[in-house]
Amino acid sequence: MKKPWGGRFKEATDDIMVRFSASIGYDQRLYAYDIQGSIAHCKMLAKCKVIKSTEAKKIVSGLQKILKEFESGTFVCDEKLEDIHMNIERRLIDLIGPVGGKLHTGRSRNDQVCLDFRLFLRAETEAIVEGITRLSKAFLAQARKNVDTIVPGYTHLQRAQPVRLAHHLLAYVEMLLRDRDRFLDAYPRINVMPLGSAALAGTNFPLDREYTAKLLGFPEISHNSMDAVGDRDFAIEFCSASAILMAHLSRFCEEIILWCSSEFDWVELSDAFTTGSSIMPQKKNPDAAELTRGKSGRVFGNLMALLTLLKSLPMAYNRDLQEDKEPVFDTVDTVKSVLDVMTGMLKTARFKKPAKADLEAKGFLTATDMADYLVLQGVPFREAHEITGKAVAYCLEQNKPLGELGMEELKTLWPRFREDVYGYLQLESSVDRKDVYGGPSKRRVQARINQIDKKLKTSRSALFKTKGRRP
């Protein structure tokens, strides 16, 4: 088979080299974007009178036919034609004759592949932003149901201070909102039209790049032909936003896995999002969470792969860049499936209220409140800390919680204790005294739920509003 670039070659490509250099196995995924880009390029060529409008019509209808072939599964890809671009171009020429060969005027695969990749990442960023919004809504719904669920908050995985479970869940929503912002921030840098850069040096033809951009819905065109074909920083940003998202979700999954254990017993996951054991009949395993935690590794790895790919590349395009696709495709697939499964798992989860007796019996959750009580009586905080520490040591000896210390016992620790200290040692009142903005009091948690609810209702068009052109 004659290669589209075969003119200067006398010998056939070795089969080993054919297999080694082919990307069609995975870049065929870009077919719809490749055709969309080619149609726009072709219309622009006609508008600029580089090709005749009758020729453009033939090319466009040929491309539309090829799109249908892909959609119906009848398009046959050929590894010898290396990639999606040459497979489509060869089919076009088969379908409409030599005039199909005019499509590639003023264009190179170097700017073409970059365009396809940008169109792809633009669409996938939109899908992921929607996925994060859906997952955040599932978190918010669980937070609403669990405003009155008091749980121990932990530091060092040791019981620290009581909080509302809603507050704990909302911490993840804050992370998700920032994750969503990171994708939205990166979006305008994806949303740039590179066609017209050709191989690296632009083109001799008087192309109307703004027109192509308009046809494809790009608010901006690239400003330097070498940069446009040679960089993939937009893909790195996408993978970086994905990696941070996965780090957050992996933390949440770790907690879900702990919370499902008999030791914690805070949550019951639905049968629909758990799996069984092939040997132990009693088991119901949180595999959705475990797999998500596990899959974070490949998403981090994909980011590393792209950074390493870019590092040390001389200007402008190098074939190394063909290796950009698989890590990005894998990131997209992983992140989208993780967002779906996390949303399903969370929507169908049932959180339990930890028994009050257990919360009071273990961990001295209100010890800091006792110290703060002493501070309010005028004791310097360091001394208050010391007195409360002694109270904890005494309780450990006596095997009782702080709230069960009698007034006599308290007074041996500090003579001016009064009955009102007991108000400070109760869980609910402890939480509600943390009424600082950002704290876990009922008032603050409810107010934040309402703010987030509004944020999550922001329309798609407002989220993706293009900020206009950079100078």
> Looking at beta carbons only, is 124 or 179 nearer to ligand ARG?
124
- Report in angstroms how near the CB of residue 49 gets to ligand ARG at its nearest: 27
> Looking at beta carbons only, is 108 or 149 nearer to ligand ARG?
108
- Report in angstroms how near the CB of residue 83 gets to ligand ARG at its nearest: 4
Question: Does the footprint of ligand ARG cover residue 319 (CB under 6 A)?
Answer: yes
> Looking at beta carbons only, is 116 or 255 nearer to ligand ARG?
116
> Looking at beta carbons only, is 103 or 339 nearer to ligand ARG?
103
- Report in angstroms how near the CB of residue 330 gets to ligand ARG at its nearest: 16
For ligand ARG (CB under 6 A), the number of binding residues is 9
- Report in angstroms how near the CB of residue 126 gets to ligand ARG at its nearest: 23
> Looking at beta carbons only, is 75 or 154 nearer to ligand ARG?
75
Structure tokens at 141: 């719904």
- Tell me which of 72, 156, 262, 278 is the catalytic residue: 156
Question: Does the footprint of ligand ARG cover residue 225 (CB under 6 A)?
Answer: no
> Looking at beta carbons only, is 121 or 342 nearer to ligand ARG?
121
- Report in angstroms how near the CB of residue 435 gets to ligand ARG at its nearest: 57
> Looking at beta carbons only, is 21 or 204 nearer to ligand ARG?
21
Pairing of strands 267-268, 220-221: unpaired
For the window 3-42, what string marks contact with ligand ARG as x by the rule CB under 6 A?
Answer: --------------------x---x---------------
Residues 6+ apart with CB under 8 A from 413: 387, 390, 391, 394
- Phi and psi dihedrals of 72, rounded to 5? -90, 0
The C-alpha angle with vertex 74 and arms to 70 and 76, in degrees rounded to 5, equals 85
- Report in angstroms how near the CB of residue 282 gets to ligand ARG at its nearest: 51
CA distance 440 to 60: 60
Of the candidate residues 87, 296, 322, 331, the single one contacting ligand ARG (CB under 6 A): 322
Question: Does the footprint of ligand ARG cover residue 467 (CB under 6 A)?
Answer: no
- Report in angstroms how near the CB of residue 322 gets to ligand ARG at its nearest: 4
For the window 99-138, what string marks contact with ligand ARG as x by the rule CB under 6 A?
Answer: ----------xx--x-------------------------
Structure tokens at 284: 């119901």
- Tell me which of 21, 53, 61, 277 is the catalytic residue: 277
Q: What is the DSSP string of 40-52?
A: HHHHHHHHTTSS-
> Looking at beta carbons only, is 110 or 302 nearer to ligand ARG?
110
- Report in angstroms how near the CB of residue 25 gets to ligand ARG at its nearest: 11
> Looking at beta carbons only, is 110 or 242 nearer to ligand ARG?
110
- Report in angstroms how near the CB of residue 160 gets to ligand ARG at its nearest: 51
> Which residue from 197, 204, 215 is spatially nearest to 44, judged by alpha carbons?
215
Structure tokens at 58: 């033939």
Part in contact with ligand ARG (CB under 6 A); list of ranges 156-164, 270-278, 317-325, 447-455: 317-325
Q: Identify the burial level of 448 via C-beta atoms within 10 angstroms of its C-beta, where 0-12 means exposed, 13-18 middle and 19 or more buried.
A: buried
CA distance 158 to 369: 17
Q: Please confirm, yes or no, whether 277 is among the known catalytic residues.
A: yes
Q: Please confirm, yes or no, whether 337 is among the known catalytic residues.
A: no
Part in contact with ligand ARG (CB under 6 A); list of ranges 135-143, 273-281, 319-327, 355-363: 319-327
Question: Does the footprint of ligand ARG cover residue 83 (CB under 6 A)?
Answer: yes
Q: Which residues bind ligand ARG (CB under 6 A)?
A: 23, 27, 83, 109-110, 113, 319, 321-322
Active site residues: 156, 277
